[in-house]
Amino acid sequence: MTHETAWLAAPQSIAFGGYRVVLARGLSPEELADRLAATVLYDAEHIAVAAGEHTGDSFLELMDDTYGDPFDGIGLRLGSAGEWTYAVAYGGWAGEFGPLAPVSRDGAHVCLLEYEEENGKPVPPQFEYFHDGRLLSACNLHLDVSWGYQGVEGDPATASRLQELLTAAGLPAQEQDDREVHRTALGIIAEFFGLVLPRDPIVSGTLPAVLLEPA
């Protein structure tokens, strides 16, 4: 399942702490990185600074050397597959990005897949999909009513069609654990939107990387 998204549901599928992946159609990897840098919620404006090509492990080592602790900075590894580009976050990304709607301006399609796996609250995995500044659909991937969601939200036509597919698959299923619901929901979302997220380049390959630094 290398070209879908369900592999993200595995424990520590990318790195310790969970995953934050943004996929975009209509943006180059560099444009996606620049737009994401502009949404960082620190006081200073941030920009994407090229950091060479890295594996996930070597990038975390670079961030450790740069900041003293990788969780004291934010970095992205960038790639593309088919029509989609993607940005995979590393370091202290949790809670540090603003809304994605501006990233989807000028006709871009942008999808967020995020899971704070080590958050003790616990926070369910999250999904959002925007097009041209509009939210088309969003839900938590445990498909319960926690964290403000009442099923799939967003554009009525898009959200209702996605909700129908999830319901037809028997979700949420009380007899399944959260991780299995998470995995199944990711697969349905990937098929519905045609998402492509190759596992091997992200988990074991080398990709261009950027650090999100104050301008």
Q: Could you read off the pLDDT of 22-71 as tens digits, one per residue?
A: 999 999 999 999 999 999 998 789 999 999 999 999 999 999 999 999 99
Helix locations, 23-153, DSSP H: 29-37, 56-67
Whether 101 maps to a domain, the answer reads: yes
Whether 154 maps to a domain, the answer reads: yes
Whether 1 maps to a domain, the answer reads: no
What domain count does the chain have?
1
Residue span of the structural domain in which 53 resides: 6-214
**Mean pLDDT of successive 10-residue segments in the chain (215 residues)?**
80 94 98 98 92 98 97 97 97 95 98 92 91 96 73 94 93 80 94 96 97 95
Whether 121 maps to a domain, the answer reads: yes
Q: What are phi and psi of 141, to 5 degrees?
A: -85, 10
Q: Parallel, antiparallel, or unpaired: how do β-strands 18-25 and 109-116 relate?
A: antiparallel
